[in-house]
């Protein structure tokens, strides 16, 4: 094709246009497999979930193919069985709130531990950095369930921590750590910590530490250097890390179930309930989509806010 | 896992019958490995077992299709759902050679009249396992979890089995199974809401945690309580005198099973008293096969967890499935309690 086009004397403009067309086609072809996977493997199931959320629950699980808005109505409101009145579904809202609260706390905890860790690694000599990174990544390769059970082994009443504390004589009776929000926080922070360290490290690795020296030369204190120089430049990493931790926390299922003891549900468990004992698949689907919308909205707001700030600084 | 099993099943179907296979989908920690070993040796069939932790998990997965399982072990309450939804194969086990061993009580159950789909696996009760070194009062009461004595407060586990937890509470306030009575249910809800702060966890695994004294009491299944007692002699099992559920689990072949002959062989195999006894010796529940007692461990024969003490036997209520309307209310109450 290209050969015939160049053999004919044609205006340069046409040639450029032809090349652009060609490029576009090549790009489309190269992208096709990835796009196909995205469409079938991501959008496909999502569309099924969307369709299910507008159907009627079957008597014993599954769905009946009758259109209904009841599931969506039930996400936010319900008819109280005892009074017969339509009320705000405060049970659902409090489960949403607990999930958001615990996810935010986990993200903060991950940032608090992850940032200094990433900073430490980024300031090591280039040769040893890979070794430190490996230490962070190895647990990440381990199955999530196994890591969760490992935490359980540590904090259960007969576990390592309590046994050690009793052995030292600091306490007489074990401290109840399992099945508390503390256990949940520790578990989730441990599980998702690498997702914070990796992007923050990536940002800090490119960071020019001569800027810190320059800061000190200009009589900036440690705190000022951190706040005015390091943090702003590491911000893309911090933002990416926070999103990577916050989002999976919101939908966490295994950790709340194993470490939280299932006494207070989080969203993941609540959605599961609808597909299991609750036998209300449409409500489960609607809840899952609500979660998706919340995450998307939060991301858009967050990215916009960060973007505006950045625009302001450059402008 | 599901996909893996399907792949395995597909590969097995594609090639010439190299090895016979059987994919069993059963409750976790419930299948005697010795019994499976014996079955494999006698028949040359390769068995793969996949676990589930609740009837609803199993039902949802089977309804979704593409599971690759041949055999499932639903509770009696769920068998009619499986049959109605066309998920089970009519395998007519009552015509199998070993059916003669099935005990009178389990030959013609309401959930599967004439035993056209299922054979008995194990049956038992739901009650209160209590560590008597922590609390030595009366344990034959649902107050253990609904109005806990001080010694047990904060150390109680409740299995997250909505229907059992709700049913025992309904019996406790004087209601009937599957009650939709407003006053009864209001009382049940208030009772559960008030009791919940005294619970430590809602978790299925109770045997190890009772034995290790991580928890001092739990609603649990009788066999689990017996297994816990064998590890820790302080654990006793109470039957709430106001009423407690009696359940049975049953082996059935799935409508879309790929290894039907192997599954039938398995059904017939477990009705043999000696093999049924192996199932009981592992999981510590009664099995519904007459004559299996002779092969059971001594500890099972006299265990109060298995042999219900005379006057408490009457309080047992055969579990049945509740209508969707009742289910819906129970779910609302359950969500309210666990919010």
**Per-domain residue ranges for chain B?**
2-123+248-302, 124-246+309-338
Q: Is residue A73 part of a domain?
A: no
Question: Which residue in A59, A62, A277 is closest to B54 by CB distance?
Answer: A277
CATH no. of B124-246+309-338: 3.40.190.10
Tell me the percentage of chain A whose pLDDT exceeds 70: 94
Separation between Cα atoms, residue B146 and residue B217, nearest integer Å: 12
Whether residue A106 is found in the same domain as residue A216: yes
Domain that holds residue A182: 90-314
Q: For domain B2-123+248-302, which architecture applies?
A: 3-Layer(aba) Sandwich (3.40)
Burial class (CB in 10 A: 0-12, 13-18, 19+), A298: middle
Q: Do the strands B244-253 and B235-238 form a parallel or antiparallel pair, or are they unpaired?
A: unpaired
Assign residue A290 the CATH number of its domain. Answer: 1.10.3720.10
Reported as a single tens digit per residue, the pLDDT across A44-83 is: 899 999 999 999 998 887 889 999 999 999 998 888 878 7
Q: Is residue A84 part of a domain?
A: no
**Is B56 close to A92, i.e. CB distance below 8 A?**
no
Q: How confident is the model at residue A299 (pLDDT cuts 50, 70, 90)?
A: confident
**Is A178 close to B214, i.e. CB distance below 8 A?**
yes
Q: Is residue A79 part of a domain?
A: no
| Residue B62: CB atoms within 10 Å | 23
Report the pLDDT averaged over residues A93-115. 94
Asked if B69 and B88 count as a contact pair (C-beta separation under 8 A), the reply is no
> Does residue A312 have a pLDDT over 50?
no
Could you tell me if B63 lies within 8 Å of chain A, comparing CB atoms? yes
**pLDDT tens-place values along chain B, 339 residues long:** 555 555 555 545 544 445 799 999 999 989 999 999 999 999 999 999 999 988 988 998 998 888 999 999 999 999 999 999 999 999 999 999 999 999 999 999 999 999 999 999 999 999 999 999 999 999 999 999 999 999 999 999 999 999 999 999 999 999 999 999 999 999 999 999 999 999 999 988 899 999 988 899 999 999 999 999 999 999 999 999 999 999 999 999 999 999 999 999 999 999 999 999 999 999 999 999 999 999 999 988 889 999 899 889 999 999 988 898 998 899 999 999 998
CA–CA distances in Å: residue A37 to residues A49, A248, A278: 18, 22, 33
CATH topology agreement for domains B2-123+248-302 and B124-246+309-338? yes
| pLDDT of the residue at B15 | 46
Separation between Cα atoms, residue B158 and residue B219, nearest integer Å: 5
Could you tell me if B231 lies within 8 Å of chain A, comparing CB atoms? no
Q: Is residue A238 part of a domain?
A: yes
Separation between Cα atoms, residue A246 and residue B38, nearest integer Å: 50
* A9 to chain B, closest Cα gap in Å: 58
**Chain A residue whose CA is closest to B323:** A59
Of the listed ranges A16-20, A209-213, B1-5, the one predicted with least confidence: B1-5
Could you tell me if A174 lies within 8 Å of chain B, comparing CB atoms? no
Whether residue A151 is found in the same domain as residue A255: yes
**Chain A residue whose CA is closest to B333:** A81
Whether residue A160 is found in the same domain as residue A298: yes
CA–CA distances in Å: residue B233 to residues A46, A203, B193, B208: 52, 58, 32, 13
Separation between Cα atoms, residue A40 and residue B154, nearest integer Å: 48
Q: Is residue A286 part of a domain?
A: yes
Could you tell me if B293 lies within 8 Å of chain A, comparing CB atoms? no
**Chain A residue whose CA is closest to B185:** A82
| pLDDT of the residue at A10 | 60
Q: What is the DSSP letter of B87?
A: -
Whether residue A39 is found in the same domain as residue A100: no
Could you tell me if B332 lies within 8 Å of chain A, comparing CB atoms? yes
Asked if A246 and A102 count as a contact pair (C-beta separation under 8 A), the reply is no
Question: Which residue in B182, B196, B339 is closest to A82 by CB distance?
Answer: B182
**Is A60 close to B212, i.e. CB distance below 8 A?**
no
- How many structural domains compose chain A? 2
A180 interaction partners in chain B (CB closer than 8 Å): none
> Does residue A217 have a pLDDT over 80?
yes
Question: Which residue in B54, B196, B339 is closest to A276 by CB distance?
Answer: B54
Report the pLDDT averaged over residues A247-251. 91
Q: What is the mean pLDDT of chain A?
A: 88
Reported as a single tens digit per residue, the pLDDT across A142-198 is: 898 899 999 998 998 888 999 999 999 898 888 888 888 899 999 999 999 999 999
Could you tell me if B327 lies within 8 Å of chain A, comparing CB atoms? yes
Whether residue A37 is found in the same domain as residue A112: no
Whether residue A294 is found in the same domain as residue A155: yes
Whether residue A34 is found in the same domain as residue A102: no
**Is A261 close to B214, i.e. CB distance below 8 A?**
no
Whether residue A128 is found in the same domain as residue A251: yes
User: Would you give the distance in Å from CA B285 to the centre of its chain?
Assistant: 9
Question: Which residue in B63, B202, B329 is closest to A81 by CB distance?
Answer: B329
Whether residue A115 is found in the same domain as residue A44: no
A60 interaction partners in chain B (CB closer than 8 Å): 59, 81, 84-85, 321, 324
Whether residue A174 is found in the same domain as residue A27: no
Whether residue A197 is found in the same domain as residue A295: yes
Winning range, highest mean pLDDT, from A228-237, A267-276, B135-144:
B135-144
**Is B154 close to A176, i.e. CB distance below 8 A?**
yes
Q: How confident is the model at residue A5 (pLDDT cuts 50, 70, 90)?
A: very low
Query: Helix count (H) and strand count (E) of chain B?
Result: 14, 10
Q: Is residue A178 part of a domain?
A: yes
Q: What is the DSSP letter of A281?
A: H
**Is A179 close to B185, i.e. CB distance below 8 A?**
no
User: Chain B neighbours among A 41-70 (CB < 8 Å)?
Assistant: 59-62
> Position of tokens 């920690």?
B29
Of A41, A74, A77, A81, which to mutate for an interface test with B (greatest number of B Cβ within 10 Å)?
A: A81
Asked if B221 and B153 count as a contact pair (C-beta separation under 8 A), the reply is no
| pLDDT of the residue at B66 | 87
User: Would you give the distance in Å from CA A146 to the centre of its chain?
Assistant: 20
Q: Is residue A243 part of a domain?
A: yes
Q: Which two tokens stand for residue A16?
A: 């450029």
Could you tell me if B291 lies within 8 Å of chain A, comparing CB atoms? no
Is this complex's ipTM strictly greater than 0.90? Answer: no
Whether residue A106 is found in the same domain as residue A184: yes
Could you tell me if A275 lies within 8 Å of chain B, comparing CB atoms? yes
The answer for residues whose C-beta is within 8 angstroms of residue B164's C-beta and 6 or more apart is B126, B219, B245, B319
């Amino acid at each position: 094709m290209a050969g015939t086009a160049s053999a004919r004397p044609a205006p340069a403009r046409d040639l450029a246009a032809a090349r652009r067309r060609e490029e576009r086609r090549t790009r489309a072809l190269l992208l096709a497999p990835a796009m196909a996977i995205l469409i079938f493997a991501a959008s496909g199931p999502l569309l099924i979930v969307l369709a299910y959320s507008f159907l009627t629950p079957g008597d014993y699980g599954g769905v009946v193919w009758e259109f209904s808005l009841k599931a969506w109505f039930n996400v936010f409101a319900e008819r109280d069985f005892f009074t017969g009145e339509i009320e705000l579904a405060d049970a659902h809202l409090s489960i949403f709130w607990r999930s958001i609260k615990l996810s935010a706390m986990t993200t903060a905890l991950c940032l608090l531990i992850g940032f200094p860790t990433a900073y430490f690694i980024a300031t090591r000599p280039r040769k040893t950095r890979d070794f430190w990174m490996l230490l962070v990544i190895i647990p990440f390769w381990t199955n999530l369930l196994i890591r969760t059970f490992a935490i359980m082994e540590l904090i259960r009443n007969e576990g390592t921590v309590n046994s050690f504390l009793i052995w030292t004589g600091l306490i007489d009776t074990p401290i109840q750590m399992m099945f508390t929000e503390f256990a949940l926080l520790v578990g989730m922070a441990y599980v998702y910590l690498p997702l914070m360290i990796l992007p923050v490290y990536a940002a800090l690795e490119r960071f020019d530490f001569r800027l810190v020296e320059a800061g000190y030369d200009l009589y900036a204190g440690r705190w000022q250097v951190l706040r005015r120089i390091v943090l702003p430049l590491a911000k893309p990493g911090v933002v990416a890390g926070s999103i990577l931790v916050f989002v999976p926390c919101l939908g966490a299922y295994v950790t709340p179930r194993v470490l939280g003891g299932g006494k207070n549900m989080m969203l993941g468990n609540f959605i599961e309930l609808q597909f299991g004992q609750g036998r209300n698949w449409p409500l489960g689907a609607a809840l899952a989509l609500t979660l998706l919308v919340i995450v998307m909205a939060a991301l858009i707001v967050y990215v916009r806010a960060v973007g505006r700030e950045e625009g302001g600084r450059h402008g | 896992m599901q996909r893996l099993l399907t792949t395995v099943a597909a590969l097995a179907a594609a090639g010439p019958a190299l090895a016979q296979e059987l994919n069993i989908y059963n409750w976790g920690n419930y299948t005697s490995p010795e019994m499976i070993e014996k079955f494999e040796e006698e028949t040359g069939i390769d068995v793969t077992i996949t676990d589930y932790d609740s009837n609803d998990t199993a039902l949802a997965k089977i309804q979704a299709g593409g599971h690759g399982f041949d055999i499932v072990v639903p509770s009696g309450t769920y068998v009619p759902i499986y049959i109605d939804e066309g998920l089970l194969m009519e395998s007519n086990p009552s015509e199998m050679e070993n059916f003669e061993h099935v005990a009178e009580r389990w030959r013609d159950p309401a959930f599967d009249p004439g035993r056209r789909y299922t054979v008995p696996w194990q049956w038992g009760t739901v009650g209160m396992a209590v560590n008597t070194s922590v609390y030595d009062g009366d344990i034959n009461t649902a107050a253990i979890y609904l109005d806990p004595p001080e010694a047990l407060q904060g150390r109680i586990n409740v299995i997250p089995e909505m229907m059992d937890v709700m049913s025992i509470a309904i019996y406790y306030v004087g209601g009937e199974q599957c009650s939709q009575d407003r006053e009864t249910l209001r009382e049940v809800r208030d009772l559960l809401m008030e009791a919940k702060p005294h619970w430590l966890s809602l978790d299925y695994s109770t045997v190890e945690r009772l034995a290790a004294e991580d928890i001092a009491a739990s609603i649990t299944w009788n066999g689990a309580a017996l297994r816990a007692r064998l590890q820790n002699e302080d654990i006793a099992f109470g039957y709430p005198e106001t009423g407690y559920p009696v359940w049975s689990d049953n082996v059935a072949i799935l409508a879309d099973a790929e290894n039907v002959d192997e599954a039938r062989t398995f059904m017939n195999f477990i009705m043999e008293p000696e093999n049924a006894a192996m199932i009981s010796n592992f999981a510590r529940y009664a099995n519904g096969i007459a004559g299996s007692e002779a092969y059971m461990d001594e500890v099972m024969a006299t265990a109060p967890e298995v042999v219900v003490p005379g006057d408490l036997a009457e309080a047992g209520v055969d579990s049945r499935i509740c209508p969707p309307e009742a289910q819906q209310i129970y779910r609302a109450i359950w969500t309210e309690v666990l919010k």
